[in-house]
Structures are given as C-alpha cells and as structure tokens.
Amino acid sequence: MLNADCLFCKIINGDIPSQKVYENDYCFAFRDINPQAPVHILVVPKDHIESADMVKFNNSFYVAKIFEAIPSIAKAEGLKNGYRVITNCGEDACQTVKHLHFHILGGEKMAEKMC
C-alpha cells in the first residue's frame, strides 16, 4: 500500500515527476535527482516499506522482485563493467527518504572503501 505523505510513493503514483527507467507490478526505478555517479538509479518497491529494517516474511517478495529487475536495468544502462547496489537504513546510514530504496551506482570505477 502506498502512503500519501511519502515522496517516493508520490513518485510511484506519478504525483511527482521522475525520470522513469523501469517499472513492473512490484517495483519502480527512476534516476536520482542528485546523481553521485554517471549512472545513479533508485529502485523502490510499490509498497510503502520504510527501510531494510522493515522487511519481513510478508513483504520480502518485493525485495526479490527488485533484485530480479536490477540486472536488466543495469544492462539497459550499459553497466557492462559492474555496478554497486546500496541501501541506506536509518539514521546512522543517513537514510533521508523513509521508503525502502536501492541505489544502483555505476558508469565509473568506484572507491574500494564503502564508507
């Protein structure tokens, strides 16, 4: 179920415009508004799950569906040489939007260190 007060739910619903790159019944992918790599895409479930910390037995299929979609998104973006998938969860990880999302970052060689 979507949440009327949530930025990414509004993007999924088309109430806020985005640059969509992929969509199916379970997930929606769009370009990050402030890209941190030549390719920076966000993939979100079509359900208001707050973060990775709220993934449970009854909603984990959204995560599986997202990870099924990621290789085709990466291929369409030309990420032949690899890419990084990140989810920030909670305050210490600096999660700013409280709707589970996976960043796909690529298009250049990234630093080995992740934080």
50 touches ligand 5GP by CB under 6 A: no
The binding site for Zn ion (CB under 5 A) comprises 3, 6, 8-9, 48, 99
33 touches ligand 5GP by CB under 6 A: yes
48 touches which of Zn ion, ligand 5GP, none (CB within 5 to 8 A by kind)?
Zn ion
Name the β-bridge partners of 42. 30, 103
18 touches ligand 5GP by CB under 6 A: yes
Q: Examine the residue annotation and report whether 99 is marked as an active-site residue of this protein.
A: no
99 touches which of Zn ion, ligand 5GP, none (CB within 5 to 8 A by kind)?
Zn ion
DSSP string, the chain: ---TT-HHHHHHHTSS---EEEE-SSEEEEE-SS-SSSEEEEEEESS---SGGG--TTTHHHHHHHHHHHHHHHHHTT-TT-EEEE---STTTT--SSS--EEEEESSPPPS---
102 touches ligand 5GP by CB under 6 A: no
59 touches which of Zn ion, ligand 5GP, none (CB within 5 to 8 A by kind)?
none
Q: Which residues are identified as catalytic?
A: 101
